[in-house]
Chains A and B, each alone.
Chain A
Amino acid sequence: MRRLYIVMYDISHPKRLRKVFKIMRGFGDRIQLSVFRAELTPKERIQMMMKINPVIHHNEDQVLMIPIGPAGGEIEKEIEALGRPYEPCPHGAVVV
């Protein structure tokens, strides 16, 4: 039921940037500076928006959420990377 999103942001103040980064860590994996890969249900997407919305400056900052298809779908296999490889972290049970 989750969808795969690429979330990227442009935050013009370092303090707010830090806050947004911390929030985003709770929803996805950072794949580049200010770019996250997030698998989210519709509910989690709204939870994320509710956390970020009060933190950002609505005239100076921007957060983009780009849905690219269902989580675990085919689209991710088509992502190409030049240079460092693109390696999404697998989900599932963790045993330590």
Chain B
Amino acid sequence: MNEAESSFPVILSLPDFIPARMLNEFAYCPRLCYLEWAQQEWDDNEWTMDGNFQHRRVDRPSGDLPDADEMEEQAPEAVHARSVMLSAEGCGFIAKMDLIEAEAGAVLPVEYKRGSVPDNPERSWEPERVQLCAQAMILRENGYVCPTGVLYYAQSRQRVEIAITDALAARTLEIARELRCVMQSGETPRPLQDSPKCPGCSLAGICLPDEILHEAAHPNAEAEEDAIRRLYPARDDAAPLYVQDQGAYVGKSNEELVVKLKGTKVADIRFIDLSHVCLYGNVQISTQAIQELLKRSIPLLYFSFGGWFNGICGGMPHKNVELRRRQYRAEYGKESLEIARVLVQNKIQNSRILLRRNSAEGNEDAIEDLRRAEQQAGEAANMESLLGFEGNAARIYFQHFSSMLKPKESDGGLSGFDFTTRNRRPPRDPVNAMLSFAYSLLTKEFAIVLLRVGFDPFMGFYHQPRYGRPALALDMMEPFRPLIADSVVISVINNGVIQSKDFVRSAGAFALKPDARKAFIMTYERRMDSLITHPIFNYRISYRRVLEVQARLLARYLLGELPTPPEFCTR
């Protein structure tokens, strides 16, 4: 342990009580418990939602549970108390019990489960029995007589009685002991191997069990086809809304976001179809709309009229403090340079492949130079030399960039898209204007993803933090600049979607006209939504999902689960 490590503890202290539900999760999958409790990850899926739906009656507190010493006098009247919170110091458990029935001096905890009775000899699963046993142990410590508990399966409407035996109590205490051990170790438990539990787990897309096991064993090696299960959707159902018409007003109407221009409705988008909202320049949005977006965790992003990414409004930060602590600590560790090397190397490789595929001929020397820069970047001894290799590669790449542009002859050929070097702030030709705009779109994409995963997007490893610059987003997008942004620019020019007349020029700076910008955004969105074969995991996935997977893998690297930072190189 080095000095920085000892003075910067990453393990958080464990709460005094273990919730009975966490015992259930831990018995089901230790990693699930750790992600949910230590890293505060949560994602609903159909099963957990349905669970809430089935639970709706027992989640409303009602009825009174008499004190243990009054139980004798209460009998023989039956007592039904719902949603009762109790804890016990001896065993160190706490539980919110769905239903407690009391009769003849004894109490009976009833735990609601959404499914039907399992077809096994015990007619129940161990995690559920352990959870119920923890409830019984809490009741006993509070002075109640509690010989049995009940699991109620909502779908088949059946009650299964579970005897709270000494053996079950011993097993419950053993699981609690293991749970404390794992939590205090600060190490995320490994995913289950090829488990049938994973496909139904709501956290599968966050845990990435097959991906993590593969990367831990064979970092960045291509997996065999069908070896890795894609346990999350290949593409998102929700898509962004961009509002760039100056003077537009965004409001909320019931379950929809409504965009009005001079009092006339120009668009309405259901919240369930919305991934994020981007506002450009002088666009107004109502408090009601902002509140609803916050409630639904839909990020709201502000840009200047020209496309400069100003900021993001997204409610509370992610609760995964452990990850942020590791992120800050890594800046002083060896991880920083390792991450930067991979990002730069991947970027150069992806630029080289784009150049090789899209330009006709005569670039062999440049391609060879890029290959060399790629290798040098992978072996860079420090940040300064890495910056040098990257700068050199970028210069070569942009020198040859216009060889990939084949505008229509009717548009005056290449003359309208004259491009020799990259320049910005302000961009001084149409190609640079589009590159800048595309990079700002990609920056916001990563800013959203990094916040969702739990990172601080302003603390980077390669890009040094500077005022208001989302440095980690800039880091992460390096390999994707050629794959997404540059390729969108090439395709809008070569397909004639954007022509030289689509720009306004003022004081030597170029910008897209509103209609052209709309066409540009639509092309960019199609690119983000297009399915590709993941170069490592070999399954079909959209670019937008790839960005999230990369960010989650980087988090796992920083948390010590993976030996190397994740790569992304197109084949």
Contact = CB atoms under 8 A, between A and B. Distances in A.
A79 interface: no
B271 to A, nearest CB: 7
Contact of B239 (A47, A92, A96): A92
B222 interface: no
B350 interface: no
Interface stretch (B418-426, B492-500, B518-526, B535-543): B518-526
Interface stretch (A4-12, A18-26, A61-69, A80-88): A18-26
B272 A44 contact: yes
Interface string B260-291: 01000011011111000000000000000000
Contacts of A95: 241-242, 244, 518, 521-522
Interface in B36-83: 44-46, 49-50, 52-53, 56
A33 interface: no
Nearest to B240: A93
B254 interface: yes
B233 interface: yes
Interface in B236-268: 237, 239-245, 248, 254-256, 259, 261, 266-267
Interface of A: 1-2, 22-23, 25-27, 39, 41-47, 49-50, 53, 91-96
B529 interface: yes
Given A27-B272, A46-B46, A96-B267, 15 more contacts: A25-B256, A26-B270, A26-B271, A42-B46, A43-B44, A43-B49, A46-B49, A50-B49, A50-B53, A50-B56, A92-B529, A93-B522, A94-B240, A95-B241, A96-B244
Return the 10 tightest CB-CB contacts between A and B, nearest first.
A26-B255, A42-B46, A93-B525, A46-B49, A93-B239, A1-B233, A95-B518, A95-B242, A22-B254, A43-B46
Nearest to A91: B273
B242 A25 contact: no
- Which applies to chain B's interface (DSSP): helix, strand, loop or mixed? mixed
B115 to A, nearest CB: 14
Nearest to A49: B53
Given A27-B255, A95-B521, A41 B237 contact: yes
A96 B266 contact: yes
Interface residues of B, number: 35
B53 A94 contact: no
Contacts of B240: 93-94
A95 B242 CA distance: 5
A94 B45 contact: no
Contacts of B46: 41-43, 45-46
Nearest to B261: A96
24 contacts: A22-B254, A23-B254, A26-B256, A41-B237, A42-B45, A43-B49, A44-B272, A46-B46, A46-B49, A47-B272, A49-B53, A91-B237, A91-B273, A92-B239, A92-B525, A93-B240, A94-B267, A95-B244, A95-B518, A95-B522, A96-B241, A96-B244, A96-B245, A96-B259
Nearest to B257: A94
A43 B242 contact: no
A42 to B, nearest CB: 3
B513 to A, nearest CB: 13
Nearest to A51: B255
Given A49-B53, A50-B53, A93 B241 contact: yes
Contacts of B521: 93, 95
Contacts of B245: 96
Nearest to B518: A95
Contacts of A26: 254-256, 270-272
Nearest to B528: A93
A88 B245 CA distance: 26
Contact of A94 (B50, B56, B233, B242): B242
B255 A94 contact: no
Nearest to B245: A96
Given A93-B521, A95-B521, A25 B52 contact: no
Contacts of B242: 93-96
Contacts of A39: 237
A50 B271 CA distance: 16
Interface string B310-338: 00000000000000000000000000000
B248 A27 contact: no
Given A41-B237, A92-B525, A46 B53 contact: yes
Given A22-B254, A91-B239, A93-B239, A50 B52 contact: yes
A92 B267 CA distance: 13
A35 B333 CA distance: 60
A25 B529 CA distance: 25
A46 B114 CA distance: 13
Contacts of A43: 44-46, 49
A50 B259 CA distance: 28
A41 B233 CA distance: 10
B230 to A, nearest CB: 11
Contacts of B273: 91
A43 to B, nearest CB: 5
A37 B272 CA distance: 14
Contacts of B52: 50
A44 to B, nearest CB: 6
A89 to B, nearest CB: 10
Contacts of B266: 96
Contacts of B49: 43, 46-47, 50
Contacts of A41: 46, 237
Contacts of A44: 272
Contact of B50 (A1, A25, A46, A96): A46
Contacts of B518: 95
Contacts of B45: 42-43
Nearest to B46: A42
Nearest to A46: B49
A24 to B, nearest CB: 9
